[in-house]
Amino acid sequence: MTLDIQKIRQDFPILHQQVNDKPLVYLDNGATTQKPEMVINAIADYYRHDNSNVHRGAHTLSDRATGQFEQARETVREFINASLTEEIIWTKGTTEGVNLVAFSWGLENLSAGDRVLVSHMEHHANIVPWQMVCQRTGAELVPVPVTELGDVDMTAFDALLDERVKFVSMAHVSNALGTVNPIEEVIRKAHSVGARVLIDGAQAVAHWAVDVQALDCDFYVFSGHKLYGPTGIGVLYGRQSLLQGMTPFMGGGEMIETVAFEKTTYNRLPYKFEPGTPNIAGVIGLAAAIRYLSQFERADIQAHEESVLAYAVERAKAVEGLRLIGQSDHRAGVISFVLEGTHPNDVGTLLDQQGVAVRTGNHCAMPIMDRYGVPGTVRASFALYNTKEDVDALFTALEKVKMFLY
């Protein structure tokens, strides 16, 4: 099957507008992807026809809402090939998923002398929760170095990996560099010393199929809004055996079985980790986004995006004064760069005036910016609906930026 990208673009209404009197070229997909009509309509239809709380109402609307809500859990289970729907926990996003594991698993299993390994390229959301838990438990957070090209230094990883390491938490794909990390090797080696592993899949699941059973990871987290779904909804996958032994880090309604002032008993999985009224519309919208992607062969999406990315990298290498930050041979969806003598924020502002939307700054990954000695970068990130014409528009606009700033 060959993807008809122009037809696909018609599914995304936001793309068909002008920004600053220029056609919008949206290249900020690493921050959030745009939403197809299928997702927008699914959310609107829920509010128009089925709006009700789930699991609690003895009436038709609640039954319909609950049916969609739980079917969405099965949709996600199939999407990442988890064994059981009980292993799919709804969260607000990747950040909450990491925090849930850090506090529910980490506080009970880490102690003084233990180590948690993360890579130097992690998003703050995969650093700060572990810092907080390590401060409370006496464990040590240890960063794994990154090479000049932007790869995890696996020699250094091997040297750090010993019986003191109890947990490894690493991005599948770097949001700042686009590096695809060798997570299969990381998981296998971490398990060989008895460590548990969490993979941050926020930047991966939109680009190719993820199989958590094949990866053999203990936890996998991602956000709906980077997967053509709505904001405010995410997924934590966890092994059933681990989740059953973890204490919830938030309490309230829905996550309980019985409550008395003397003692509370917790609900069964997955509800044990889902206190309060959930983001029902977000769950339904995420399921719609997955159904949208399922129309296409994931290999076709991956091939198209790799073609656009390779073209962008070649265009970037031809620009005088442009320095690519992160040049791994294993990249997905992102080029990150600085222009000599300019500040990334100025570049981003001038690109926006020409209708080109990119991200600038440290991308919530300050340690990797420090590693390269830059205050931040300009990041262009690509999605299913992007084309080589979008790349051309970026670099045409960039030449005008250079003329203005130089």
Q: Cα(359)–Cα(176) distance, rounded to whole angstroms? A: 10
Residue 233 in tokens: 């909804």
Query: Active site includes 217?
Result: no
Closest CA to 29 of 11, 15, 39, 18: 15
Q: Using an 8 Å Cβ cutoff, are 64 and 52 in contact?
A: yes
Pairing of strands 377-381, 115-119: unpaired
Q: At what angle do helices 280-293 and 60-80 cross, to 10 degrees?
A: 40
* DSSP reduced 3-state for 378: strand
| Measured CA distances, 299 to 291, 304, 305 (Å) | 16, 9, 10
Phi first, then psi: what are they for 192, rounded to 5°? Answer: -65, -20
Number of other residues whose CB lies within 10 A of the CB of residue 257: 11
Among candidate residues 3, 313, 364, 374, the one labeled active-site is 364
**Sequence-ordered list of residues with C-beta below 8 angstroms from that of 314, at least 6 positions apart, any chain:** none
Distance CA 232, CA 96 (A): 10
58, with CB counted inside 10 A (0-12, 13-18, 19+), is: exposed
Residue type, 276: G
For the annotated catalytic residues, the residue numbers are 364
